[in-house]
């Protein structure tokens, strides 16, 4: 029986979250914690899914029922990706999908996007369908929009291309930065954030003050452009200052929490060059930059403020086949 294993990296937003949803650029890096998907062809015309990390065991459907009826949240991205792919390329073979992850779906590393990208890569290979990177991006992004209606697609780009990217919504611009790694410290707040409700929260907060919202987004864009250059020059002290400036604007958007604020303040008061939320806010992770000498004390300070340090390497490889 033909089968294939594909993996894709998680991601961390570096700069530009929220503003990226409104057409401004952002910077994202792929991390070395990966999502794995195995797909095998079955004799019967069925879709089967095992995803034990998210408590899905023996989930089965006839292909004709894909996308119909009750779909558990944890199965949605896989099922809709398969449904869209099967409809577009008129496929009829049954498949069994098994997923496993090196990171929890709770921490905001983009497990849904990584899984979507893995599935599409695996199906394209199994059924010998050639997709350019752009087609691959568009197809995966469509799945995200079909399910959550909103989002820039930066996490899809990170899963496909890997590395560290300068990205504009919908994949209008996807430019890799010429770097090897970023000395990032990552602290998890212990709270799962819901991206769509946080996007909506920002929209509602500024419903009557669009002018200020535009100004905030324009300031974030300036920070993103400058950060891109300074990251490429490895000017970490300046990148840290830019993080602090970006964080101030994110606080104004109303998506920080007291826990994230405490973790960020603790990092800075223990010598970090800078620190900020990474992603939608409301929970998930914060990131900090520090010199080699200060890393340990910054990590300890984040932990004392109630965070959990997640060791990551940045600039990881994009989607790939596994042996």
The binding site for ligand MEV (CB under 6 A) comprises 13, 17-18, 20-21, 151-152, 154, 195, 199, 279-280
Cβ proximity to ligand MEV: between 13 and 290 the closer is 13
Closest approach of ligand MEV to the CB of residue 275, in Å: 17
Q: Per DSSP, which regions of 103-189 are E strands?
A: 164-168, 173-176, 184-188
Cβ proximity to ligand MEV: between 294 and 314 the closer is 314
CA distance 87 to 38: 21
Closest approach of ligand MEV to the CB of residue 257, in Å: 15
Q: Using CA atoms in the order 60, 65, 67, 71, what is the torsion angle rounded to 10 degrees?
A: -40
Cβ proximity to ligand MEV: between 21 and 97 the closer is 21
Burial of 191 (0-12, 13-18, 19+ CB in 10 A): middle
Cβ proximity to ligand MEV: between 86 and 137 the closer is 137
Closest approach of ligand MEV to the CB of residue 260, in Å: 13
**What values do phi and psi take at 305, rounded to 5?**
-80, 5
Dihedral sign for Cα 114, 196, 136, 139, please: positive
Closest approach of ligand MEV to the CB of residue 152, in Å: 3
Cβ proximity to ligand MEV: between 20 and 97 the closer is 20
Closest approach of ligand MEV to the CB of residue 58, in Å: 31
Q: Are 216 and 248 in contact (CB under 8 A)?
A: no
CA distance 8 to 36: 7
């Amino acid at each position: 029986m033909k089968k294939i294993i594909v993996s894709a990296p998680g991601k961390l937003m570096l700069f530009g979250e929220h503003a990226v949803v409104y057409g401004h650029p952002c910077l994202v890096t792929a991390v070395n914690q990966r999502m794995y998907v195995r797909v095998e062809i079955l004799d019967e015309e069925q879709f089967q899914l095992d995803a034990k990390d998210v408590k899905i065991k023996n989930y089965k459907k006839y292909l004709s029922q894909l996308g119909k009826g009750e779909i558990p949240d944890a199965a949605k991205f896989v099922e809709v990706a398969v449904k869209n792919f099967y409809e577009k390329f008129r496929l009829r073979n049954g498949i069994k999908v098994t997923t496993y992850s090196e990171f929890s779906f709770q921490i905001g590393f983009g497990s849904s996007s990584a899984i979507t990208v893995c599935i599409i890569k695996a199906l394209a290979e199994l059924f010998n369908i050639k997709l350019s990177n752009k087609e691959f991006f568009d197809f995966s992004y469509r799945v995200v929009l079909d399910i959550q209606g909103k989002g820039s697609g930066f996490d899809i780009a990170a899963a496909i291309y890997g590395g560290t990217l300068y990205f504009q919504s919908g994949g209008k611009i996807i430019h890799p930065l010429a770097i090897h790694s970023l000395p990032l410290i990552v602290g998890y707040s212990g709270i799962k954030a819901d991206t769509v409700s946080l996007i909506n929260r920002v929209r509602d907060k500024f419903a009557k003050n669009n002018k200020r919202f535009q100004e905030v987004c324009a300031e974030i864009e300036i920070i993103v452009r400058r950060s891109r250059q300074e990251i490429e020059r490895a000017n970490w002290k300046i990148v840290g200052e830019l993080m602090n400036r970006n964080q101030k604007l994110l606080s104004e958007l109303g998506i920080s929490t007291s826990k994230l604020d405490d973790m960020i303040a603790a990092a800075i008061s223990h010598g970090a060059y800078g620190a900020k939320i990474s992603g939608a806010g409301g929970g998930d992770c914060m990131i900090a930059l520090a010199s080699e000498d200060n890393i340990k004390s910054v990590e300890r300070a984040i932990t004392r403020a109630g965070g959990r340090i997640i060791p990551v390497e940045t600039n990881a490889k994009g989607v790939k086949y596994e042996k």
